[in-house]
Amino acid sequence: MIRRDIFRSFWGLLLGSIVPGYGKEKKHMGSVRESLNSDHVDVLVVGGGTAGTISAIQSALAGATTQLLELESRLGGTMTTGGVCFPGLFHAWGQQIISGIGWDLVKKTVELHGGTFPDFNTPYPDEHHWHHQIVVNAPLYTMLAEEACMEAGVALRYHEFPLSIEENRQGWKVEIAGPGTHRKIQCRQIIDCTGGADIAGLIGMRRLRDDDTQPGSILFKIGGDFHWGRDRLQQLYVFGADSSSSTTRTKAIVDGRQKVLEELRKRRAQPGNEHMQLVHLRPETAVRESYRIVGEYQVNKKDMLSGRLFEDAVCFSFYPIDLHTNQGVNPLQLSEGTVPTIPLRALIPKGRRNFMVAGRSVSSDRLANSSLRVQASCMAMGQAAGAVAALAAKSKTTPLNIPIKDIRSLLSEFGAIVPEKA
């Protein structure tokens, strides 16, 4: 069995502080803590962010029994917890290139809120790609995403994370813990949507990460009113923001809040601003960059700039090369008509079975990843991974063995736009 003591120590301390008698004989634990139990699912999705929510919904809609673990208390990740409530890009050069479950949720959120959409038929001017981003009501998106999970049959579990994972003939045996909870499940397929390939790292899979990472952003609003679904939040860079461990994640959150506090004091010190107030602050710093897997294929900058159409492409992705540095960001635009694709092989760790990733930790070099990490692309990857995992679980095989035509057929059935050669 593959274990990582850091996870066990963390959860042991957490549960010990919350649950009386944790770590002692079961008879002393009372009814507060769930007993250690076992159950079986076809697909386990870890991480309920931008990619994971869509992945779990697609898996369940395709007929696979699906559980979704989320360490926090809301779905949506960067869009909701981080406050980057303007997901993009679903359109390119006057045409929609990403649709399906993620787009449907975004569209439903805007419509229920009474919001408006940009004019997608008009290509944006150079260096103004953000004109086609959609502003959403993030709390409303969370509720609609939960509703979609329940309607699809996803078993949603907040505040839970794997302690250990053991590979076996049936797939994976996973030990899971959370406040008042300690259980085991058997699953056929795992989809890692943690954003930093945390589960791949727990199992011991090889991951990539550069010494220098992009700054994160803390989103807030000082002065005036803030209206969800209409306004964008203000933001400050948080240099060195890192979500790869609880220690670095804590530092990113605290550093972000201290920067906002400093900004508030600076503004209030200006003449006429003595009564300026902080009216909104997101609970976490949004992180742009963490670990990436080493996949069966690594998407590179050339693939993105050329708009390469892979033989095993499962979705499109459209965004400039968008690497943030201490000096800011200077996006490298894609040439007119260029729409890159993402291959199935980039979602599968090299040489591994019954395991996929979706979202920011997709196998890619740093510059390609700065484009691939955006929310619409992560939603498209999530839906693709959910479809493949469901097909693999049903066929009792591994994702690389699923014919690409079957994957594309299932994705099309649920509204996704799939890349195919003319």
Q: What's the CATH number where 129 sits? A: 3.50.50.60
Cβ atoms 285, 253 nearer than 8 A: yes
* Each residue's pLDDT tens digit, 354-369: 999 999 999 999 999 9
| C-alpha to C-alpha distance for 411 and 386, rounded to whole angstroms | 9
Number of domains in the chain: 2
Q: Are residues 366 and 237 in the same domain?
A: no
The SS3 call for residue 381 is helix
Q: Are residues 186 and 326 in the same domain?
A: yes
Q: Are residues 202 and 220 in the same domain?
A: no
Q: Are residues 355 and 224 in the same domain?
A: no
* Each residue's pLDDT tens digit, 135-181: 999 999 999 999 999 999 999 999 999 999 999 999 999 999 999 99
Closest alpha carbon to 267 in 279, 254, 256: 279
* Each residue's pLDDT tens digit, 73-87: 999 999 999 999 999
Cβ atoms 115, 135 nearer than 8 A: yes
Q: Percent of the chain at pLDDT above 70?
A: 90
Q: Are residues 107 and 235 in the same domain?
A: no
pLDDT value of residue 125: 64
How many helices (DSSP H) and strands (DSSP E) are in the chain? 10, 19
* 346 found inside a domain: yes
Cβ atoms 327, 257 nearer than 8 A: no
| C-alpha to C-alpha distance for 218 and 233, rounded to whole angstroms | 9
R_g of the chain computed on alpha carbons: 21
Q: Which residues of 93-121 are buried (b: 16+ CB within 10 A; e: fewer)?
A: eeeebbbbbbbbbbebbbeebebeeeebe
* 181 found inside a domain: yes
- How many angstroms separate the Cα of 363 from the Cα of each of 53, 318, 382, 406? 20, 17, 14, 23
Q: Are residues 243 and 365 in the same domain?
A: no
* Each residue's pLDDT tens digit, 369-393: 999 999 999 999 999 999 999 999 9
Q: pLDDT category, 315, cuts 50, 70, 90? A: very high
Q: Which domain holds residue 19?
A: 2-208+291-413
Q: Are residues 150 and 98 in the same domain?
A: yes
* Each residue's pLDDT tens digit, 194-239: 999 999 999 999 999 888 889 999 999 999 899 999 889 999 999 9
- CA 174 to chain centroid, in Å, comes to 21
Closest alpha carbon to 184 in 192, 173, 194: 173
* 248 found inside a domain: yes
Closest alpha carbon to 117 in 109, 126, 127, 128: 109
pLDDT value of residue 46: 98
Closest alpha carbon to 325 in 235, 213, 218: 213
* 422 found inside a domain: no
Q: pLDDT category, 422, cuts 50, 70, 90? A: low
Model pTM above 0.85: yes
The SS3 call for residue 83 is coil
Q: Are residues 161 and 118 in the same domain?
A: yes
* 419 found inside a domain: no
Residue with structure tokens 């260096």?
127
* 421 found inside a domain: no
The answer, yes or no, to whether residue 421 has pLDDT greater than 90, is: no
Q: Domain end: 242, 258, 281, which one?
A: 281
Q: Are residues 84 and 106 in the same domain?
A: yes
The dihedrals phi and psi of 157, each to the nearest 5 degrees, come to -130, 105
* 36 found inside a domain: yes
Whether residue 278 has a cis bond before it, omega within 30° of 0: no
* 31 found inside a domain: yes
* Each residue's pLDDT tens digit, 175-197: 999 999 999 999 999 999 999 99
The answer, yes or no, to whether residue 89 has pLDDT greater than 70, is: yes
Q: Are residues 256 and 404 in the same domain?
A: no
Q: Are residues 159 and 26 in the same domain?
A: yes
Q: pLDDT category, 395, cuts 50, 70, 90? A: very high
